[in-house]
């Protein structure tokens, strides 16, 4: 079964940058559209960015121009580069299959990694 482990979060000042990493395990990772999601306290989980098996990307309007998603299929990794961070970016960030495409993604949420943007 596919599983994901996120890392790279931390405390940064507004305007700062972070690089989040996602290590994937399981079969057929190369075939899936992947996504980064985030959930702030008291809020619903939301989609941040997606990347297809071929490298096509899509971003939420709130992060467009600031975040970049990438993947290395040979290494089973997905990366989220986060620049010009804002306090409203504070959340737990999760890597997963694109749950809008694959129902199995409902069962593959990991622990996430905490990002806190504060002065």
- The one-digit pLDDT tens for each residue of the chain (119 residues) are 789 999 999 999 999 999 999 999 977 888 899 999 999 999 999 999 999 999 999 999 999 999 999 999 889 999 999 999 999 999 999 999 999 999 999 999 999 999 999 99
CA-atom Rg of the chain in angstroms: 13
Rounded Cα distance between 33 and 80, Å, is: 14
Q: In sequence order, what are the beta bridge partners of 117?
A: 12
Cα(85)–Cα(16) distance, rounded to whole angstroms?
Answer: 5
């Amino acid at each position: 079964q596919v599983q994901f482990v996120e890392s790279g979060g931390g405390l940064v000042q507004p305007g700062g940058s972070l690089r989040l990493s996602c290590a994937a395990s399981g079969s057929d990772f190369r075939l899936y559209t992947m996504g980064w999601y985030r959930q702030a306290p008291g809020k619903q989980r939301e989609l941040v960015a997606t990347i297809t098996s071929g490298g096509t990307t899509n971003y939420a309007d709130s992060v467009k121009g600031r975040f970049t998603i990438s993947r290395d299929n040979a290494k089973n990794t997905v990366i989220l580069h986060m620049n010009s961070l804002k306090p409203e970016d504070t959340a737990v960030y999760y890597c997963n299959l694109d749950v809008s495409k694959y129902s199995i993604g409902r069962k593959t949420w990991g622990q996430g990694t905490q990002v806190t943007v504060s002065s």
